[in-house]
Amino acid sequence: MKTQWQILVVDDEQVMRDSLAGWLGEDGYTVETAASGREAIDAARRKDYAIYFIDLKMPGGIDGIETMMEIRRLHPDASIIIITAYATVDTAITAMKEGAQEYIVKPCNPEEISMLVNRIIKVKNLQRENTILRKKLTRQYRFGDIISKNARMQEIFTLASDVSSLRSTVLIQGESGTGKELIARAIHFSGDRAARPFVAVSCAALTESLLESELFGHEKGSFTGASTQRRGKFEMADGGTLFLDEIGDISPKLQVDLLRVLQERAFYRVGGSDEVRVDVRVIAASKVDLREAVQQGRFRDDLYYRLNVIEIDVPPLRNRREDVPLLAEHFLERLTPELRKEISGISEGALRLLMDYSWPGNVRELENSVERAMVTCRGHVLTEDDFAFLTRPGNGHAWTPPDVSLDEMEKLMIEATLDRKDGNVKEAAIALGIDRSTLYEKLKRYEIRR
Amino acid sequence: MMVLRVAPMGNLDEALLAAIVESLRHGYGVEVKRSAALGEPGFAWDGARGQYSAPLILRHLLDGVAAGSGKLLAVTEQDLYIPMLSFVYGQAQLGGQVAVVSIARLRTEHYGLPPDEELLRVRARKEALHEVGHLFGLVHCPDTSCAMALSTGIRQLDEKQPSLCAGCAVLAGEGRNAMRDGE
């Protein structure tokens, strides 16, 4: 509807203001007028108009160009049309250089104004639709700060929402950069503990003794350097959530201590004799497969089962490639104000490149890549060139291991090499780095015909 | 009942005026009366432009009508303009009382062609419907066949029908009722 678009007509002559406002009003637009540059700037401070018609010459105050520049500062995306009865090349160049979208000479043909306004509004409608659509998609595929339209992730969102107000421990497993902490935060902030603390600890970052003190606190004098009593993360998270990242890295001793806390909801500070009771919901995360670690004896099975009351396995980004464009657009939108760049989108070619890449660093790597591309981008759209760093050697691009067994891989390799060597077994053996008899055995084993 | 008056500014062809009156009666379902001729709009002449100012004409018409006395459509032979544009076929107060239509650029002679009275009448009916539509609060219609579509040239005007589309007809009815209630 045109009435949603407001137009400001700025001219010191009332008859000019009224006639243009009347004409545009008949066309369905909501039109306001200003009799001077100062009035126009005041109006622009109160609202952002879709189109500004500004007369070039307005005696007795600031002129059309100065008015336009000030409005541009307030609204960088403003569509400004400079009107003048005195067309000169100099003023036209100045007006366009300072940001006028169009420069028209009055009186102008009705068709000219009509087409100009329609063109501008059409673009604004498309921009608005695009923004609404993007926001809709983001809302639809969002849980907290996590965005995904992958079916498996949607299941995780549902599960995380269901357990958000429970006290049960949650174990989140997934590769680095898949958003395990974001899921933990989303669980906390969508539950009834949202108003209480969310405390995160990286178990991999500290030595055993420091981690013990970090988690449980210490009493004054309990070890060298412990000059005061210190509350640990369990106490700081009392009533809220404690997020233990890289839980697979903790020592056997700390595994025992942690198990006791989970069972009894109480612990002792390092060097302390008083029991400290806490009400903490524990969410743990691990990039290593804890089931495997238990089987290998590196992780206690009783602690594993205590942590794994609710299990969430986060798929890597390469297994949910449909999320790549959604995430890339989200990072672009989020980083745009931060980086102060006017980048409106990502080209089709760039999106294809992003979809093909294997993303060993998962979502974190995607975010960093988008940021890097934005920093170096010289245009208004991110293109393949801006992501060229992903395709350089050593960047993990271009080859993702196929989902086949080792034997199948070997068979494929042999077949490809024989094909390349036109069936010559001697040359194929040399290329594969094995002797001929070994190759003949493999040909027989895999039933490969030459 | 709301009355819409049609008044020529100077001498105009009676058959043309009758066609306009009938078109408005049929198109808007209101009582339409032919009023006595108004004077030529000499007061609106702009020598520099060689045209007549539509805003000045509207102001003049408004001075001559009492509030609540219905609506007035003036018809003139003279070429009209508004300051921003090189010409207008007519102008109206949106949701107001007065409007003016010019037949200067509706004549085929304006385009170097032989006179065509029938085509002039059809064009005049369309333009009259359009400006009176604005009096009833209608804005430009995106349907290019509707009389309320914007015409920035004679070709677009000829593409229109001398009638409102279904949507504008409904809106015109609502506008008419709202204004009747306000009288």
Are both A333 and A219 inside the same structural domain? no
Is residue A299 assigned to a domain? Answer: yes
Residue A140: per-residue pLDDT: 59
**CATH class assigned to B3-182:** alpha beta
> Do A255 and A180 reside in the same domain of the chain?
yes
Give domain status of residue A17, yes or no.
yes
Q: Model's pTM, two decimal places?
A: 0.51
Partners of residue B159 in chain A, C-beta under 8 Å: none
What's the DSSP call for residue B37?
P
| pLDDT on residue A86 | 72
Chain centroid to CA A238: 31
Distances (CA, A) of B72 to A193, B52, B143: 70, 19, 26
Collect the ranges in chain A with pLDDT lower than 70: 1-3, 87, 131-142, 393-404, 420, 450
Q: B130: which chain A residues are within 8 Å (Cβ-Cβ)?
A: none
**Torsion region of A317: left, alpha or beta (phi above 0 gives left; psi -120 to 50 gives alpha):** alpha
Q: What is the largest CA-CA distance in chain A?
A: 99
A89 token code pair: 């090349």
- CATH number of the domain where residue A159 is located: 3.40.50.300
Q: Do B137 and B95 contact (CB within 8 A), yes or no?
A: yes
**Cα separation of B124 and B101, whole Å?**
8
For residue A110, tell me if it sits in a domain: yes
Residue B22: active-site member = no
Min CA distance, A5 vs chain B (Å)? Answer: 14
- pLDDT at residue number A402: 55
Residue A235 counted as domain residue = yes
Query: Cβ contacts of residue A276 below 8 Å, gap of 6+?
Result: A216, A217, A234, A235, A266, A267, A268, A269
CA dihedral B163, B169, B172, B173 (to 10 degrees): 130
Structure token digits, residue A4 = 């949603």
User: Is B85's CB within 8 Å of A28's CB?
Assistant: no
Complex ipTM > 0.90? no
Q: Match 């599960």 to its residue by tokens.
A: A159
Quick check: is A64 in a domain? yes
Q: Which residues of B touch A25 (CB under 8 A)?
A: 94, 139
pLDDT class for B183, splitting at 50, 70, 90? Answer: very low
Of B49, B55, B87, the CB nearest to A18: B55
A55 lies in some domain: yes
Residue percentage of chain B with pLDDT more than 70: 96
Cα B83 to Cα A23, A25, A79, A446, B105: the distances in Å are 11, 15, 22, 88, 17
- Mutation for B interface: A19, A29, A117, most B CBs within 10 A: A19
Domain boundary among A101, A135, A169: A135
Helix (H), strand (E) at residue A409:
helix A406-420
Distance CA A191, CA A195 (A): 9
Give the total residue count for chain B: 183
Do A329 and A308 lie in a common domain?
Answer: no
Residue that has been written with the tokens 């408004």 in this structure? B62
Q: Return the pLDDT at A314.
A: 94
Same domain, A42 and A104: yes
Residues A283 and A178 in one domain: yes
pLDDT digits (tens, 9 = 90+) for B58-68: 999 999 888 77
Residue A326 and residue A188 in one domain: no
Q: What is the CA radius of gyration of chain A?
A: 32
Count of domains observed in chain A: 4
A337 and A309 fall within a common domain: no
Measured CA distances, A243 to A175, A207, A238, A429, B152 (Å): 17, 18, 12, 54, 67
Give the β-pairing of A142-143 and A146-147.
antiparallel
pLDDT number for residue A397: 46
Q: Is residue A396 part of a domain?
A: no
Q: Provide the CATH number for the domain around residue A87.
A: 3.40.50.2300
Asked whether the beta carbons of residue B82 and residue A25 sit closer than 8 angstroms, the reply is no
Please give the pLDDT value at position A100: 85
Query: In this structure, are A48 and A191 located in the same domain?
Result: no
Q: What token pair was written down for A35?
A: 């009799």
Structural domain includes residue A293 = yes
Is residue A412 domain-shared with residue A359, that is, in the same domain? no
From residue A257, how far is each of A260, A311, A444 by CA, in Å? 5, 22, 57
CA distances from A412 to A397, A406, A419, A436, B28 (A): 21, 10, 11, 18, 81
B149: nearest CA partner in chain A: A27
Give helix A14-26 / helix B54-63 axis angle, nearest 10°. 90
Does the beta-carbon distance from B81 to A2 stay under 8 Å?
no
- pLDDT digit string, tens, across residues A127-167: 777 766 666 655 656 677 788 888 889 889 888 888 988 88
Bridging pattern class, strands A6-10 and A310-313: unpaired
Domain residue limits at A49: 2-135
> What's residue A326's pLDDT?
87
Structure tokens at A340: 């102060």
Question: Looking at chain A, which residue has its C-alpha nearest residue B140?
Answer: A27
Place of tokens 């059809």: B122
CA separation for the pair B93, B131 (Å, rounded): 9
Q: Are residues A376 and A416 in the same domain?
A: no
Cβ atoms < 10 Å from Cβ of A169: 19
Query: Which of B53, B84, B150 to substitute to test the interface with A, most A CBs within 10 Å?
Result: B84
